[in-house]
Structure 1
């Protein structure tokens, strides 16, 4: 029964992470996140920095929740959360829980996307893991 609770918690957190990353990507596209850093010389760098800040803040919340509520199985929970968020991102114009969403997300961002999409893939994948490692490290000190 505990595994079922872990999966349900991870899926609920993944829906929140998906929504927060969509908001962060939208704010970055509108140029409202780091408006003082909008450089006309390097627009891609400014956009990537805005995505890094936005998705970094969005990744902190699920990592903190998982660290607080599931410290014993935090790596399983964060893995389920990231995979479910990628599934939802891949199913942007399809049924929400279609299993092909992960394949579509990986294909559209990592394999066939431009440099911004590839970096976005790694932001969504790695920033929750980095926050979880940082929170684990801060708890030890």
Structure 2
């Protein structure tokens, strides 16, 4: 029963993480992040930096919730959250929980995407893990 609660908790957090990453991607695409330092010489690097900051902030909230409410099984919860978020990103124009969503997400971002899409894949995958490692380090200090 506890594992079922963990899966349901992680799925709920993943829906929130999905919504926050969609908002973060939209804000950085509109150029509303780092507007004071908007360099016209390097637009791709600027866009990647905006996505890194915005998805980093979006990853902070669900990682903090997982760390606070499931400290014993936080790695399992974060893994379920990341995979479910990738499912949802891959199923933007399809049924929400279609199993092919993860395949579509990986194909569209990692294999067939441009540099921004590949960076987006790694931001969505790695930033919650980095936040979790930072929270773990902050507790030890």
Q: Displacement, 1:37?
A: 1.8
Structure 2 unaligned blocks of 5 or more: none
2:71 maps to 71
What TM-score, normalized by structure 2, do the two folds share?
0.99
Q: Displacement, 1:102?
A: 0.3
1:84 maps to 84
SS at match of 1:113: coil
Q: Displacement, 1:140?
A: 1.2
* CA RMSD in angstroms, aligned pairs only: 0.4
Matches within 5 A, 1:15-26: 15-26=15-26
Name the CA distance, whole Å, in 1 between partners of 2:14 and 2:38: 30
Structure 1 unaligned blocks of 5 or more: none
Name the CA distance, whole Å, in 1 between partners of 2:93 and 2:34: 29
Q: Displacement, 1:36?
A: 1.2
1:133 maps to 133
What TM-score, normalized by structure 1, do the two folds share?
0.99
Name the CA distance, whole Å, in 2 between partners of 1:81 and 1:131: 14
Name the CA distance, whole Å, in 1 between partners of 2:37 and 2:91: 32
Runs of 4+ in 1 over 3 A off after TM superposition: none
Deviations 1:37-70 (A, max 9, x none): 2111000011000000100000000110000000
